[in-house]
Amino acid sequence: MKQRFLPLRCFNPILLVRWPFLLLVSILFPICHSASAQTNATHLSDHKPLMNPIWEVIDKLMYKVSKENGKTIYTPHFPAELQRLDGKEVTLKGYMVPIKPGRSHHFFLLSVLPIYQCMFCGQNGIPPMVEINMVNEKKVIFTDQVTTIRGKIYLNAKDSKRTEVQIH
Protein backbone atom coordinates (compact mmCIF):
# COMPACT_ATOMS: atom_id res chain seq x y z
CA MET A 1 0.00 0.00 0.00
CA LYS A 2 1.38 3.35 -1.03
CA GLN A 3 1.43 6.11 1.60
CA ARG A 4 0.13 9.57 0.75
CA PHE A 5 1.74 12.68 2.15
CA LEU A 6 0.67 16.28 2.15
CA PRO A 7 2.93 18.60 0.21
CA LEU A 8 5.14 20.62 2.56
CA ARG A 9 3.40 23.89 1.68
CA CYS A 10 0.09 22.45 3.04
CA PHE A 11 1.53 21.08 6.29
CA ASN A 12 1.08 23.20 9.40
CA PRO A 13 2.62 21.72 12.60
CA ILE A 14 0.54 24.06 14.80
CA LEU A 15 -2.60 22.29 13.63
CA LEU A 16 -1.29 19.00 15.08
CA VAL A 17 -1.22 20.54 18.55
CA ARG A 18 -4.38 22.59 18.25
CA TRP A 19 -6.68 20.30 16.28
CA PRO A 20 -8.61 18.98 19.34
CA PHE A 21 -9.23 22.57 20.47
CA LEU A 22 -10.21 23.71 16.97
CA LEU A 23 -12.55 20.76 16.60
CA LEU A 24 -14.26 21.55 19.91
CA VAL A 25 -14.64 25.25 19.07
CA SER A 26 -15.97 24.50 15.57
CA ILE A 27 -18.64 22.24 17.07
CA LEU A 28 -19.68 24.36 20.05
CA PHE A 29 -19.52 27.88 18.59
CA PRO A 30 -22.29 27.45 15.97
CA ILE A 31 -24.54 25.73 18.51
CA CYS A 32 -24.12 28.41 21.18
CA HIS A 33 -24.24 31.27 18.69
CA SER A 34 -27.37 30.12 16.88
CA ALA A 35 -29.21 29.37 20.10
CA SER A 36 -28.63 32.85 21.46
CA ALA A 37 -29.43 34.52 18.13
CA GLN A 38 -32.78 32.78 17.82
CA THR A 39 -34.03 33.14 21.38
CA ASN A 40 -33.36 36.76 22.27
CA ALA A 41 -33.78 39.48 19.65
CA THR A 42 -33.42 42.29 22.19
CA HIS A 43 -29.62 41.86 22.24
CA LEU A 44 -29.39 43.39 18.76
CA SER A 45 -28.34 46.94 19.45
CA ASP A 46 -27.19 47.63 15.89
CA HIS A 47 -30.69 48.29 14.57
CA LYS A 48 -34.06 49.59 15.68
CA PRO A 49 -37.32 47.68 15.25
CA LEU A 50 -39.05 49.49 12.39
CA MET A 51 -42.30 47.56 11.90
CA ASN A 52 -45.16 50.03 11.88
CA PRO A 53 -48.72 49.92 10.46
CA ILE A 54 -47.52 50.64 6.88
CA TRP A 55 -44.84 47.90 6.98
CA GLU A 56 -47.41 45.50 8.46
CA VAL A 57 -49.79 46.12 5.55
CA ILE A 58 -46.95 45.66 3.02
CA ASP A 59 -46.06 42.40 4.76
CA LYS A 60 -49.53 41.03 3.90
CA LEU A 61 -48.54 40.60 0.22
CA MET A 62 -49.21 37.01 -0.84
CA TYR A 63 -48.68 34.91 -3.97
CA LYS A 64 -50.94 32.60 -5.93
CA VAL A 65 -48.89 29.61 -7.08
CA SER A 66 -49.85 27.91 -10.35
CA LYS A 67 -48.29 25.71 -13.03
CA GLU A 68 -48.09 26.67 -16.69
CA ASN A 69 -46.29 24.52 -19.28
CA GLY A 70 -44.38 22.77 -16.49
CA LYS A 71 -43.18 26.06 -14.96
CA THR A 72 -44.18 27.32 -11.53
CA ILE A 73 -45.78 30.76 -11.75
CA TYR A 74 -46.02 33.10 -8.73
CA THR A 75 -48.71 35.75 -9.18
CA PRO A 76 -48.87 38.51 -6.56
CA HIS A 77 -52.10 38.83 -4.61
CA PHE A 78 -52.70 42.21 -3.01
CA PRO A 79 -55.20 42.08 -0.10
CA ALA A 80 -57.76 44.91 0.03
CA GLU A 81 -55.84 46.66 2.80
CA LEU A 82 -52.72 46.79 0.60
CA GLN A 83 -54.71 47.82 -2.49
CA ARG A 84 -55.97 50.86 -0.56
CA LEU A 85 -52.34 52.08 -0.29
CA ASP A 86 -51.83 51.99 -4.09
CA GLY A 87 -51.16 55.55 -5.29
CA LYS A 88 -51.10 56.97 -1.74
CA GLU A 89 -48.17 58.98 -0.42
CA VAL A 90 -46.43 57.38 2.56
CA THR A 91 -43.39 57.98 4.72
CA LEU A 92 -41.45 54.83 5.49
CA LYS A 93 -38.34 54.22 7.58
CA GLY A 94 -36.03 51.35 6.74
CA TYR A 95 -32.55 50.17 5.84
CA MET A 96 -31.07 50.48 2.35
CA VAL A 97 -30.37 47.26 0.47
CA PRO A 98 -28.43 48.13 -2.70
CA ILE A 99 -29.26 46.21 -5.87
CA LYS A 100 -26.08 47.16 -7.71
CA PRO A 101 -22.58 47.79 -6.37
CA GLY A 102 -21.57 51.36 -5.70
CA ARG A 103 -21.71 54.12 -3.15
CA SER A 104 -24.65 56.14 -4.53
CA HIS A 105 -28.00 54.73 -5.62
CA HIS A 106 -31.23 55.99 -7.16
CA PHE A 107 -32.74 52.49 -7.29
CA PHE A 108 -32.56 50.18 -4.24
CA LEU A 109 -34.60 48.14 -1.80
CA LEU A 110 -35.77 49.34 1.60
CA SER A 111 -36.07 46.73 4.37
CA VAL A 112 -37.09 46.62 8.02
CA LEU A 113 -33.77 44.86 8.74
CA PRO A 114 -30.24 46.07 8.00
CA ILE A 115 -28.40 44.46 5.09
CA TYR A 116 -25.71 43.18 7.47
CA GLN A 117 -28.21 41.09 9.41
CA CYS A 118 -29.09 37.77 7.85
CA MET A 119 -32.28 38.30 5.85
CA PHE A 120 -33.41 34.70 6.38
CA CYS A 121 -32.67 34.26 10.10
CA GLY A 122 -34.61 35.34 13.11
CA GLN A 123 -38.36 35.54 13.18
CA ASN A 124 -40.81 34.46 10.49
CA GLY A 125 -38.60 34.27 7.39
CA ILE A 126 -37.83 37.01 4.88
CA PRO A 127 -38.62 40.55 6.10
CA PRO A 128 -40.82 42.88 4.05
CA MET A 129 -39.01 45.01 1.46
CA VAL A 130 -40.06 47.63 -1.07
CA GLU A 131 -38.37 48.86 -4.23
CA ILE A 132 -37.34 52.51 -4.12
CA ASN A 133 -37.06 54.61 -7.30
CA MET A 134 -35.80 58.10 -6.52
CA VAL A 135 -37.49 60.95 -8.40
CA ASN A 136 -35.37 62.31 -11.29
CA GLU A 137 -32.86 59.54 -10.53
CA LYS A 138 -31.57 61.55 -7.57
CA LYS A 139 -28.79 59.51 -5.97
CA VAL A 140 -28.63 58.67 -2.29
CA ILE A 141 -25.35 57.70 -0.63
CA PHE A 142 -25.51 54.23 0.92
CA THR A 143 -25.77 54.15 4.70
CA ASP A 144 -26.29 51.37 7.21
CA GLN A 145 -28.35 53.75 9.35
CA VAL A 146 -32.12 54.13 9.24
CA THR A 147 -33.26 55.95 6.10
CA THR A 148 -36.60 57.77 5.77
CA ILE A 149 -38.29 57.68 2.36
CA ARG A 150 -41.40 59.59 1.29
CA GLY A 151 -43.24 58.84 -1.93
CA LYS A 152 -46.21 57.17 -3.59
CA ILE A 153 -46.77 53.44 -3.34
CA TYR A 154 -47.31 51.57 -6.60
CA LEU A 155 -48.41 47.94 -6.71
CA ASN A 156 -46.88 45.96 -9.57
CA ALA A 157 -48.60 42.76 -10.69
CA LYS A 158 -47.31 42.66 -14.28
CA ASP A 159 -43.56 43.34 -14.56
CA SER A 160 -41.85 40.20 -13.24
CA LYS A 161 -38.44 41.90 -13.39
CA ARG A 162 -39.47 44.44 -10.75
CA THR A 163 -40.73 44.08 -7.18
CA GLU A 164 -44.40 43.98 -6.34
CA VAL A 165 -44.43 46.99 -3.98
CA GLN A 166 -42.62 50.12 -5.13
CA ILE A 167 -42.24 53.67 -3.87
CA HIS A 168 -41.56 56.49 -6.36
Same domain, 38 and 57: no
Same domain, 34 and 69: no
Quote the CA–CA distance of 166 and 109 in Å, as a whole number. Answer: 9
Spatial contact of 151 and 135, defined as CB atoms under 8 Å apart: yes
Concatenating the DSSP letter of every residue in 84-145 gives: TTTT-EEEEEEEEEESSSSSEESEEEEESS-TTS-TTSSSSSSPPEEEEE-GGG--EE--SS
Same domain, 29 and 84: no
- Domain containing 65 equals 53-167
Residue 82 domain-assigned (yes or no) = yes
Residue 3 domain-assigned (yes or no) = no
Same domain, 59 and 119: yes
Same domain, 94 and 124: yes
Residue 83 domain-assigned (yes or no) = yes
pLDDT digits (tens, 9 = 90+) for 100-111: 999 999 999 999
Same domain, 17 and 73: no
Q: Are strands 165-167 and 147-155 parallel, antiparallel or unpaired?
A: antiparallel
Same domain, 86 and 19: no
pTM: 0.67
Nearest to 62 by CA among 167, 164, 168, 166: 164
Same domain, 32 and 112: no
75 SS3 class: strand
Same domain, 39 and 57: no
Quote the CA–CA distance of 98 and 7 in Å, as a whole number. Answer: 43
Same domain, 133 and 67: yes
Same domain, 37 and 89: no
Same domain, 35 and 81: no
Partners of residue 150 on adjacent β-strands: 91
pLDDT digits (tens, 9 = 90+) for 114-154: 877 655 555 556 778 999 999 898 999 999 899 999 999 99
Domain count, the chain: 2
Greater confidence (113 vs 130) lies with 130
pLDDT digits (tens, 9 = 90+) for 34-91: 333 333 444 444 556 788 999 999 999 999 999 999 999 999 999 999 999 999 999 9
